[in-house]
């Protein structure tokens, strides 16, 4: 990444959203991680109720710890990574419930995305068990019947889960069918391609490597641009009533 000599960047932070372009990604060090850089892209510092981090592991890199009261969703962006003894290649993912250990290793290097949030239990249901999967084995469905916008739901849709993680794949020119404005919060990473995101009253070009945070009730709309499909993975909170106060 070549920095602009004039300080120009697509990175933008507003009360209801943030676009963190790769030229603004700054690494940090976290306890329990060795031969690894942590890029904390979304956090409570923005007003978010989730954390979105990108871990870049060198060959022999490792991260260990406990989920505590949180739940973790890991997605392997590229490379090969072991998560709690399970080998995952690019497109592999793991959901870890609260109260369990996490142990990530990579012999050859990997980039791993994390969505984490405090788990909200619900009466009559227990926390979900760990899940391991592969994106390529998850069926895609036309979003609201539009074949140019394909949606893959990586986690089960049942009341035990209070988070969803999905992948959208848009054909060139494909769009969200309307401007959404909803209670769900999003964390997002653009995986492939490029497009334009309407966030609030602003229009932003986005491309591979961009991270986004969308607060509840941020108006949002997307169109894929260019000659290749655009893909992004995103988190949203689901299946819980809003809190008062």
pLDDT bucket at 1, cuts 50 / 70 / 90: low
Start-end ranges of CATH 2.60.120.10 in the chain?
Answer: 27-135, 139-237
DSSP code at position 227: S
DSSP code at position 155: S
Q: pLDDT digit string (tens) for 195-210?
A: 999 999 999 999 999 9
Give yes or no for a contact between 174 and 146, defined as CB atoms under 8 angstroms apart: yes
CA atoms within 13 A on the CB side of 99: 7
Q: CA dist 25 to 18, 41, 42, 236, Å?
A: 13, 7, 11, 22
CATH label, 139-237, candidates 2.60.120.10, 1.25.60.10, 1.20.5.510, 2.60.40.10: 2.60.120.10
CA pair distance 65, 32, nearest whole angstrom:
6
DSSP assignment of 174-226 equals: -B-SS-B--S--EEEEEEESEEEEEETTEEEEEETT-EEEE-TT--EEEEEES
Q: pLDDT digit string (tens) for 156-207?
A: 999 999 999 999 999 999 999 999 999 999 999 999 999 999 999 999 999 9
Residue 26 has pLDDT above 90, yes or no: yes
CATH label, 27-135, candidates 2.60.120.10, 2.60.120.560, 3.30.70.360, 3.40.50.300: 2.60.120.10
CA pair distance 38, 54, nearest whole angstrom:
6
Residue 245 has pLDDT above 80, yes or no: no
pLDDT bucket at 4, cuts 50 / 70 / 90: low
CA pair distance 180, 199, nearest whole angstrom:
10
Q: Is 145 exposed, middle or buried (0-12, 13-18, 19+ CB in 10 A)?
A: exposed
CA pair distance 19, 26, nearest whole angstrom:
14
């Amino acid at each position: 990444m070549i920095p602009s000599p004039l300080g120009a960047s697509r990175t933008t932070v507003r009360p209801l959203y943030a676009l963190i372009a790769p030229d603004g990604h700054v690494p940090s060090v976290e306890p329990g991680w060795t031969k690894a850089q942590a890029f904390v892209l979304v956090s409570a510092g923005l007003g978010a109720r989730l954390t979105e981090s990108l871990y870049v592991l060198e060959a022999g890199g490792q991260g260990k710890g406990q989920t505590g009261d949180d739940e973790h969703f890991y997605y392997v962006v590229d490379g090969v990574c072991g998560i709690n003894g399970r080998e995952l290649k690019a497109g592999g993912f793991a959901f870890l419930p609260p109260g369990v250990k996490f142990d990530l290793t990579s012999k050859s290097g990997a980039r791993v995305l994390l969505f984490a949030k405090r788990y909200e239990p619900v009466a009559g249901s227990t926390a979900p068990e760990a899940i391991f999967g592969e994106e390529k084995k998850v069926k895609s469905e036309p979003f609201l019947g539009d074949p140019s916008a394909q949606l893959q739901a990586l986690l089960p849709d049942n009341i035990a889960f209070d988070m969803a993680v999905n992948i959208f794949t848009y054909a060139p020119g494909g769009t969200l069918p309307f401007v959404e404005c909803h209670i769900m919060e999003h964390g997002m990473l653009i995986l492939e391609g490029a497009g334009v995101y309407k966030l609030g009253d602003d229009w932003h070009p986005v491309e591979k490597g961009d991270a986004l945070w969308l607060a509840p009730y941020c108006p949002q709309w997307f169109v894929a641009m260019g000659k290749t499909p655009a893909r992004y993975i995103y988190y949203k909170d689901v299946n819980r009533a809003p809190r008062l106060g």
